[in-house]
């Protein structure tokens, strides 16, 4: 039985804040992360029982990401090193890794060799007694892998995953460029709508053995990430390289609602899911086309889960932007999400759209399933038949509606797959099917021999 409990932060009546990653150090000091400043920054509970800033002053940088999975950790007290915690954050697009002394507020930088993403920190000692930090890390030329970081020696030893991509792949890897583009904030179509910035990683087509026609700009594939309050990362992803090595540019969009840009940016999506994300994905595509980087007539979009919903919403509510789309286990009926989603996300739709059933009309209005009359773009649907998050019939209903309108549509169902594809042969099949379908709509030939 827990006794003598005391609320130290986030008490009723206090300003709203997001608090997580509580950690006790060897001296019993409680460290945690809070966004009370507008960004997730580190704090600790002082000897006087008051909350203290771990930094000299708050930074406009997030020291954490969304805790969508167990084991996430970006703050850990260092054993044997008084008042010290290992931290990571991204500032001006550059990943920082360091040891923060909360008493002096000084940060000792630790080298982050080419990394742009780190997490799952755990501290301890090696067999030889050296202090080590075990973490997951990766970068634009390196998949996320498990490392042991020898803090005193300032070196990292890799244990799992691929090494930094070898010279054999030089000239084939597309490295991301973060782009900032103009967008609008709700209420859209109103004089009250304000200008704002949003973000994306742009990957140019890259293949040293081939070059596109001189008189053509490349097609563009916009990726709408899931979550929807997760974030696109610049860490190497084979699925992106699949497209860029075949002559297709990619924009991985961090639309309003994505984490990594502070609370205000993250909460742009509340309660505007299906509006802000749609606006930003469209704005990213049009920005790249207006910049002369991609072909305006060959814009495509793809997303899975919540990103699949954004994809379908773009096709339904902004049909003038994209020529084709792909939905992977995407949501087409928000009302089903409100009624049947699993316990972990039971209250999520309340923030994203509104309370149900009070806001039922809004759930219907934003659902692509109820707006197929405006959907005029070809689309491909890929769905696991054992999906418990998004019922397979959501894809079937959309496919049937498009067929009735005479719009080109493809539909592939995968036996034994759930919410996200796990089997390698199905992952390959899904990618090839998308590429083939897009080639038929956008008018290019695939170098791969793909069975339709």
Cα(118)–Cα(137) distance, rounded to whole angstroms? 4
| Range of weakest confidence among 106-110, 158-162, 434-438 | 158-162
Q: Express as a percent the part of the chain with pLDDT over 70.
A: 96
Sheet of strand 30-34: strand arrangement: 19-24, 30-34, 41-45, 51-53
**Does residue 174 contact residue 245 with C-beta atoms inside 8 Å?**
yes
What are the Cα distances from residue 90, in Å, to 41, 98, 154, 308, 326? 12, 12, 20, 27, 31
CA 227, CA 212: separation in Å to the nearest integer? 35
Q: With H, G, I as helix, E, B as strand and everything else as coil, classify residue 89.
A: strand
Calculate the CA dihedral of residues 109, 112, 115, 121 and round it to 10 degrees: -80
Query: Where residue 398 falls among pLDDT bands split at 50, 70, 90?
Result: very high
Residue 324: what pLDDT?
Answer: 98
d(CA 263, CA 279) in angstroms, rounded, equals: 19
Model pLDDT, residue 102: 97
Structure tokens at 88: 């990571």
Which pLDDT score is estimated for 150?
A: 84
Reported as a pLDDT band with limits 50, 70 and 90, residue 344 is confident
Q: What is the pLDDT of residue 157?
A: 62
Residue 107: its H or E element: strand 107-110
| pLDDT band of 128, cuts 50, 70, 90 | confident
Cis check: omega of the bond before 271, within 30 degrees of 0 = yes
Q: Strand 379-384 relative to strand 409-414: parallel, antiparallel, unpaired?
A: parallel
- Contact 338/349 with Cβ under 8 angstroms? yes
Question: What average pLDDT does the segment 113-134 reach?
Answer: 88
Would you state the pLDDT for residue 309? 96
pLDDT at position 391 is 86
Tell me the per-residue pLDDT of 403-425, one tens digit each, with 9 for 90 and over: 999 999 999 999 999 999 999 99
Report whether 264 contacts 39 (CB < 8 A): no
How high is the pLDDT of residue 354? 97
Query: Range with the lowest mean pLDDT among 104-108, 336-340, 371-375?
Result: 336-340
Least confident of 153-157, 251-255, 428-432: 153-157
Instruction: Give the pLDDT confidence score for residue 423 in this predicted structure.
Output: 95
- Among residues 2, 35, 40, the alpha carbon closest in space to that of 16 is found at 35
Give the tens place of pLDDT for each residue, 159-212: 555 555 666 678 999 999 999 999 999 999 899 999 999 999 999 999 999 988
- Whole-structure pTM over 0.85, yes or no? yes
Answer yes or no: is pLDDT of 11 > 90.
no
Strands (E), 2-62: 19-24, 30-34, 41-45, 51-53
Whether 323 contacts 298, CB under 8 Å: yes
Token pair in block for residue 418: 């759930």
Contact criterion met (CB below 8 Å) for 435 and 404: no
Tell me what the mean pLDDT of segment 325-354 comes to. Answer: 89
Confidence at residue 159, expressed as pLDDT on a 0 to 100 scale: 58
Note the pLDDT of residue 66.
Answer: 78
Residue percentage of the chain with pLDDT more than 90: 72
Write down the pLDDT at residue 164: 56
Angle 21-25-28 (CA atoms, 0-180°, nearest 5)?
A: 110
- 409-414 and 75-77 as β-strands: parallel, antiparallel, unpaired? unpaired
Q: What is the mean pLDDT of the chain?
A: 91
Task: Supply the pLDDT for residue 165.
Answer: 62
Long-range contacts from 35-43, C-beta under 8 angstroms, 24+ separation: 35/62, 35/262, 35/263, 36/9, 38/262, 38/263, 38/264, 39/63, 39/262, 39/263, 40/64, 42/75, 42/85, 42/87, 42/100, 42/102, 43/9
Does residue 443 have a pLDDT over 70?
Answer: yes
Q: Is the pLDDT at 223 greater than 90, yes or no? A: yes
How many CB atoms neighbour CB 14 within 10 A?
10
pLDDT number for residue 103:
95
| pLDDT for res 111 | 86
Q: Are strands 249-254 and 220-224 parallel, antiparallel or unpaired?
A: parallel
């Amino acid at each position: 039985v827990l006794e003598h409990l005391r609320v130290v932060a986030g008490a009723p009546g206090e300003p709203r804040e997001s608090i997580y990653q509580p950690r006790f150090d060897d001296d019993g000091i409680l460290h945690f992360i809070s966004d009370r400043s507008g960004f997730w920054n580190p704090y600790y509970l002082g000897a006087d029982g008051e909350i203290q800033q771990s930094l000299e002053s708050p930074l406009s940088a997030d020291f954490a990401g969304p805790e969508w999975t167990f084991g996430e950790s970006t703050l850990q007290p260092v054993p044997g090193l008084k008042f010290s915690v290992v931290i990571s954050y991204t500032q001006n697009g550059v990943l920082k890794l360091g040891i923060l002394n909360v008493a002096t507020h000084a940060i000792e930088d630790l080298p982050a060799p080419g990394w742009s993403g780190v997490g799952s920190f755990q501290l301890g000692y090696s067999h030889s007694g050296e202090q080590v930090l075990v973490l997951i890390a990766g970068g634009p030329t390196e998949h996320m892998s498990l490392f042991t970081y020898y803090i005193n020696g300032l070196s990292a030893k890799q244990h799992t995953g691929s090494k930094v991509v070898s010279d054999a792949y030089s000239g084939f890897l597309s490295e991301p460029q973060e782009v900032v583009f103009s967008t609008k904030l709700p209420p859209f179509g109103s004089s009250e709508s304000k200008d704002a910035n949003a973000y994306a990683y742009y990957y140019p087509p890259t293949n040293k053995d081939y070059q596109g026609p001189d008189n053509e700009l490349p097609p563009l594939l916009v990726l709408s990430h899931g979550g929807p309050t997760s974030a696109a990362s610049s860490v190497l992803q084979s699925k992106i390289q699949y497209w860029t090595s075949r002559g297709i540019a990619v924009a991985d969009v961090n639309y309003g609602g994505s984490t990594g840009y502070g609370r205000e940016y993250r909460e742009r999506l509340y309660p505007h899911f299906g509006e802000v994300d749609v606006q930003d994905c469209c704005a990213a595509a049009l920005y790249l086309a207006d910049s002369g980087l991609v072909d305006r007539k060959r814009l495509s979009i793809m997303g899975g889960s919540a990103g699949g919903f954004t994809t379908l919403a773009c096709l339904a509510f902004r049909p003038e932007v994209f020529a084709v789309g792909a939905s992977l286990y995407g949501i087409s009926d928000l009302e089903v999400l409100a009624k049947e989603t699993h316990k972990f996300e039971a209250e999520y739709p309340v923030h994203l759209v509104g309370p149900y059933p009070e806001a039922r009309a809004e759930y219907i209005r934003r659902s692509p399933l109820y707006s197929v009359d405006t959907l005029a773009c070809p689309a491909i649907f890929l769905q696991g038949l054992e999906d418990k998050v998004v019922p397979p019939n959501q894809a079937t209903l959309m496919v049937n509606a498009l067929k009735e309108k005479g719009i080109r549509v493809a539909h592939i169902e995968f036996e034994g797959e759930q919410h996200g594809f796990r089997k390698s042969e199905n992952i390959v099949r899904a990618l090839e099917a998308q590429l083939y379908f897009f080639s038929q709509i956008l008018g290019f030939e695939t170098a791969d021999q793909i069975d339709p």
